[in-house]
Amino acid sequence: MRDVRRPVITVVVGVAVAAVVNYIVSSFVGDIVFNAVRIAIAFSGGWLIVSAAHKSLWTAAAVGPLVLIIDHVLLKGGFFVLADYLWPEAAQGQGLLAAGGVLISFVMFLPIAVLCSWVGGFTARRKEQHVEAHP
């Protein structure tokens, strides 16, 4: 468990930084930057799991969903649920519906998140084996 701690901390800190960037630059450009950073976090998390922690590609593939759970489900979905209960007039009764939409989009984008982190782990494994694309 100790060898996985550094990659997990890196992923969690990366998600927090990406969330702050998205909050500061809340526009179309902010959304593009945020999703690019989310992909980079999933890729680098998969890379770290394989290269630093010496875990399998299956473990590396779990990093992408971890990023989505922390950022998308817990932070964004949790905010919608809290808004529905704490500020019902601001949420206009749509907080729980928005949280349900977050869960649906989580399921929808789960394969992409798995693929991004798996590719990071696969790239790290190929780099460790010194496999070149061309002979």
Any domain includes 34:
yes
Any domain includes 134:
no
pLDDT reading at 76 higher than 60: yes
pLDDT reading at 2 higher than 70: no
Any domain includes 108:
yes
SS3 track for the chain: CHHHHHHHHHHHHHHHHHHHHHHHCCCHHHHHHHHHHHHHHHHHHHHHHHHCCCCCHHHHHCHHHHHHHHHHHHHHHHHHHHHHHHCHHHHCCCHHHHHHHHHHHHHHHHHHHHHHHHHHHHHHHHHHCCCCCCC
Any domain includes 86:
yes
pLDDT reading at 9 higher than 90: no
Any domain includes 135:
no
Domain that holds residue 68: 2-128
Q: How confident is the model at residue 3 (pLDDT cuts 50, 70, 90)?
A: low
| Domain count along the chain | 1
